Structure 1
């Protein structure tokens, strides 16, 4: 998602959400961040340099004392070379798995005007992630470039949106329209309608990630 001099897409006062069952995602993220960092042999100082996130903030996240934003998590995931969801690990399941709506993991930004609900279990590593995205009326959400090779494949289930990719002209999508694009450049989503827009998004990472 990109624009021309986009605003700070995920302000620091808009943290990730909580599980519908009330569990604190910040604690989960902290445990996983420490595990992934130490597994890769990074000190807090080195990871701070790689991610652009301060050492103090990384330390607070690891100890569960700070709730990270979506944007911050993306920076850390890219620096570690892992899919975004790897930072929000859940137990692995065998066989059929029902993901109840009322127990979903929902990440929010921009004071709830942009939400992303995971339609898959958070486990250690995967190359494909599936999300339901909801965008408030007339809201525009910007995102930094993802890791090289990352693709986004989305379909508009309700409403009409504008997708901005790098320096390309904006792409308008109506209900039922789909789009596949390389997400390793800044990009953005804008709901230009007066009602909430709903998208379904599949993110695909290159096989070497995670």
Structure 2
């Protein structure tokens, strides 16, 4: 049954922590997490500076467009701070680029195995929500694949993604409620959903166990 729910937005500029894949109902730190964060911060900073200057935007103008403070943007560009998932999305939308355009570092071509122990995971500020990219950070992509985890009793609000972006999500453990376009859709393990993600939406875990989801995100066109 569908229920009318208002969508909400998170506005705080937050710092990100790279962590290992979390155990049920928690997000834990793993050996090497500090090194993973150190690796990701300069990549994001370099990409942000390149994309911003390519569009002829000052830090002040990008701050106005994204809602992220100039000070935070400056720290990110210098590699001194890596943003949370929500802040990355704000920046990506303002620059009109894909999420992966900000986190990708070009590498040599060929087969690439992504070891779970070496995963770079972005989390929310309180670590109740985590997103692990299941694709290499080698170049911007039109299609992205993620593992998402949401702790019991938690809500993750997402701003609208670039126009034409869609999300195809399947729940593999626990249950989840997704608020999108004013409606609420409840999914249990094995259920999936496809929706247009260019509008604010939210993920809610009202259960007692961690929710695990796999998400395929598709952009209208390859940008970045």
TM-score, normalising length: structure 2: 0.84
Specify every segment of 5 or more residues in structure 2 that has no aligned partner in the other structure, as ranges: 21-31
Change (3 A) 1:121 1:40: same
Q: Is the CA contact (8 Å cut-off) linking 2:18 and 2:123 kept in structure 1?
A: no
**1:115 aligned partner:** 130
Cα distance in 2 for partners of 1:19, 1:160 equals 23
Q: Is the CA contact (8 Å cut-off) linking 1:107 and 1:116 kept in structure 2?
A: yes
**2:6 aligned partner:** 4
Cα distance in 1 for partners of 2:65, 2:78 equals 20
Specify every segment of 5 or more residues in structure 1 that has no aligned partner in the other structure, as ranges: none
Cα distance in 2 for partners of 1:94, 1:19 equals 27
3-state secondary structure, aligned to 1:122 = coil
TM-score, normalising length: structure 1: 0.89
Q: Is the CA contact (8 Å cut-off) linking 1:3 and 1:142 kept in structure 2?
A: no
Q: Which moved more, 1:19-28 or 1:146-155?
A: 19-28
**1:194 aligned partner:** 208
Q: Is the CA contact (8 Å cut-off) linking 2:9 and 2:159 kept in structure 1?
A: no
Report runs of 4+ in structure 1 exceeding 6 Å deviation.
none
**2:78 aligned partner:** 63
3-state secondary structure, aligned to 1:111 = coil
Change (3 A) 1:66 1:110: closer
Change (3 A) 1:100 1:65: same
Cα distance in 1 for partners of 2:185, 2:91 equals 29
Cα distance in 2 for partners of 1:126, 1:67 equals 20
Q: Is the CA contact (8 Å cut-off) linking 1:37 and 1:80 kept in structure 2?
A: yes
**2:196 aligned partner:** 182
**1:99 aligned partner:** 114
**2:56 aligned partner:** 41
3-state secondary structure, aligned to 2:126 = helix
Structure 1 position 92, deviation (Å):
2.7
Structure 1 position 110, deviation (Å):
4.0
Q: Which moved more, 1:17-26 or 1:193-202?
A: 17-26
Change (3 A) 1:5 1:180: closer
Q: Give 1:4-23 correspondences, 5 Å limit.
A: 4=6, 6=8, 8=10, 11-13=12-14, 15-18=15-18, 21=32, 22-23=35-36
**1:74 aligned partner:** 89
